[in-house]
């Protein structure tokens, strides 16, 4: 266990953590006992109903749903350590070095968000992709770090955390921690944490401000267990800022029940419209032969390209077809099963490769200048409305290249595709 000397007592890295205590033992002061880990057949960490199949060989029940962060059994209890959680954090003078300029609209919305937070209202920032949400967070983050708030910046997707943490910390020169399923949890005590939403299972009344980026995304979307984990990680004085480009049912419910104040920004920071889907009808299976239109576009634009396919099993097929038609093209594939995805994306950004063939794992959380996009089998219904809008949002984000292409190759113009095109048109009209 890591120890920190703070004044006249020891601060451990377990401050603000939800601590698992084996075999119904009791914690002693300054720790606090919370209660049974599984009570009345409900896991008290993730509120899952314990399935009768979730049993160890010994017959002891456990929670399978949140076992990814440590297995809780019916013999365990939960505790926490909150002593010292609101002590002052040390920040070097001049730690904040962002000197950029928000637009007038962005500045006005930032002021409204801060005003709402100060009167105890959670905030929902609904902004189109490329509106500059991250930059708008900088002055808000600075204000609450200066107030000694402990802050968690969370997202359902690892890719979002990987992309945004170093980008944000370029301008905030303080210690921070990053926590997701692909890094070791060293239980660092820092004022600022970047984490995936699943990591909130590990905390208890720990954060004064939680920023939830891509709040509409799977697996957070409509996941009662993760919403509970988020609520349990909130301190008594906490506030939440939800950020999204597309409103999920969860977020619409929060608006309807007046649980949040809605702030909207439906214009990209550079003032240009979001590029819309271009539907290209095809007659043959692209797995056997690429459409001629697609080949011409790949020849016309040397890169960078993102080619989306509906299934992991399709990645080899599309890579082989592209290599057959464009043998000198540099291609990599990314899926949820790919290691070091971040490095491959960086290669595309640095022009070391020309094309990434991918699944919806890259639908959000990445910014690639001048990227062109292809969506294959866009009419199969595998892509959700939100996924298609998010994929479109990867295009035209750079003010130098605001007019990207999103080619959707399909056998028919489905109601869903026409609905998404209309939705993007409506966003551009506001």
The count of other CB atoms within 10 Å of the CB of residue 190 is 15
Kindly report the CATH number assigned to the domain that includes residue 336: 3.40.50.300
Statement: residue 10 has pLDDT above 70 = no
The H-assigned helical ranges of 33-172 are 104-118, 133-146, 158-169
- Mean pLDDT over each residue of the chain, to the nearest integer: 93
Indicate whether 247 and 321 sit together in one domain.
Answer: no
Statement: residue 337 has pLDDT above 60 = yes
pLDDT the model gives residue 2: 37
pLDDT the model gives residue 8: 31
Statement: residue 30 has pLDDT above 90 = no
Q: Which residues contact 204 (CB under 8 A, 6 or more apart)?
A: 16, 17, 18, 34, 78, 80, 82, 232, 233
Indicate whether 15 and 117 sit together in one domain.
Answer: no
pLDDT the model gives residue 429: 86
CA triplet 313, 156, 416: central angle to 5 degrees?
A: 60
Residue 155 lies in a domain: yes
Statement: residue 45 has pLDDT above 60 = yes
Range of the domain at 145: 104-265
Statement: residue 12 has pLDDT above 50 = no
pLDDT band at 24 (very low <50, low <70, confident <90, very high): low
Q: Mean pLDDT lowest for which of 22-36, 118-132, 160-174?
A: 22-36
pLDDT the model gives residue 11: 40
Indicate whether 64 and 149 sit together in one domain.
Answer: no
pLDDT the model gives residue 381: 85
Residue 89 lies in a domain: no
Residue 97 lies in a domain: no
Comparing 24 with 162, which gets the higher pLDDT? 162
Comparing 82 with 244, which gets the higher pLDDT? 244
Q: pLDDT by residue (tens digit) across 339-362?
A: 889 899 999 999 999 999 999 999
* Number of domains present in the structure of the chain: 3
The answer to whether 89 touches 15, Cβ cutoff 8 Å, is no
Give the dihedral sign, CA 148/150/155/158. Answer: positive
Residue 272 lies in a domain: no
Residue 345 lies in a domain: yes
The answer to whether 275 touches 403, Cβ cutoff 8 Å, is yes
Q: pLDDT by residue (tens digit) across 67-94?
A: 999 999 999 999 999 877 777 899 999 9
Q: Which of 299, 290, 306 is nearest to 392 (CA)?
A: 306
The verdict on pTM exceeding 0.85 is yes
Comparing 352 with 28, which gets the higher pLDDT? 352
Residue 271 lies in a domain: no
Q: Is 181 helix (H, G, I), strand (E, B) or coil?
A: coil
- Strands 406-410 and 372-376, bridge-based pairing: parallel
Statement: residue 338 has pLDDT above 50 = yes
Q: pLDDT by residue (tens digit) across 376-423?
A: 999 988 899 999 999 999 999 999 999 999 999 999 999 999 999 999
pLDDT the model gives residue 259: 97
Q: Which of 335, 330, 303 is nearest to 319 (CA)?
A: 330
């Amino acid at each position: 266990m890591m120890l920190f000397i703070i004044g006249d007592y020891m601060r451990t890295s377990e401050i603000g953590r939800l601590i698992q205590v084996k075999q119904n033992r009791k914690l002693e002061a300054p720790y606090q006992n919370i209660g049974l880990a599984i009570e009345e057949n409900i896991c008290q960490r993730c509120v899952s109903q314990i399935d009768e199949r979730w049993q160890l060989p010994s017959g002891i029940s456990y929670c399978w749903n949140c076992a990814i962060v440590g297995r809780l059994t019916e013999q365990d209890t939960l505790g926490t350590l909150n002593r010292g959680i609101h002590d002052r954090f040390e920040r070097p003078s001049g730690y904040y070095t962002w000197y950029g300029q928000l637009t007038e609209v962005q500045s006005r919305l930032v002021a409204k968000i801060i005003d709402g937070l100060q009167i105890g209202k959670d905030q929902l920032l609904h902004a189109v992709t490329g509106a500059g949400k991250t930059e708008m967070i900088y002055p808000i983050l600075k204000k609450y770090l200066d107030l000694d708030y402990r802050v968690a910046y969370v997202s359902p997707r690892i890719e979002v955390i990987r992309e945004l943490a170093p980008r944000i910390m370029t301008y905030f020169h303080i210690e921070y921690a990053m926590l997701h399923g692909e890094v070791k949890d060293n239980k660092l005590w820092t004022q600022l944490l970047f984490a995936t939403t699943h990591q909130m299972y590990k905390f208890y009344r720990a954060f004064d401000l939680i920023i939830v980026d891509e709040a509409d995304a799977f697996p957070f979307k409509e996941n009662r267990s993760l919403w509970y984990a988020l609520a349990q990680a909130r301190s008594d004085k906490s506030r939440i800022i939800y950020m999204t480009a597309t409103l999920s049912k969860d977020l619409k419910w929060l608006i309807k029940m007046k649980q949040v104040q809605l702030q909207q920004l439906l214009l990209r920071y550079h003032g240009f419209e979001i590029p819309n889907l271009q539907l290209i009808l095809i007659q043959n299976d692209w797995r056997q032969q690429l459409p001629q239109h697609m080949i011409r576009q790949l020849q016309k634009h040397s890169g960078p390209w993102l080619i989306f396919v509906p299934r992991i099993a399709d990645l080899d097929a599309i890579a082989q077809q592209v290599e057959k038609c464009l043998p000198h093209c540099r291609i990599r594939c990314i899926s949820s099963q790919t290691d070091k995805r971040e490095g491959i994306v960086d290669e595309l950004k640095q022009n070391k490769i020309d094309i990434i063939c991918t699944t919806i794992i890259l639908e959000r959380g990445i910014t690639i200048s001048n990227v062109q996009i292809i969506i294959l089998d866009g009419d199969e219904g595998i892509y959700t409305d939100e996924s298609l809008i998010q994929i479109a949002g990867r295009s035209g984000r750079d003010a130098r290249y605001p007019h990207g292409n999103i080619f959707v190759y399909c056998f028919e113009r489905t109601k869903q595709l026409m609905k998404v095109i209309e939705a993007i048109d409506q966003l551009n009209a506001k």
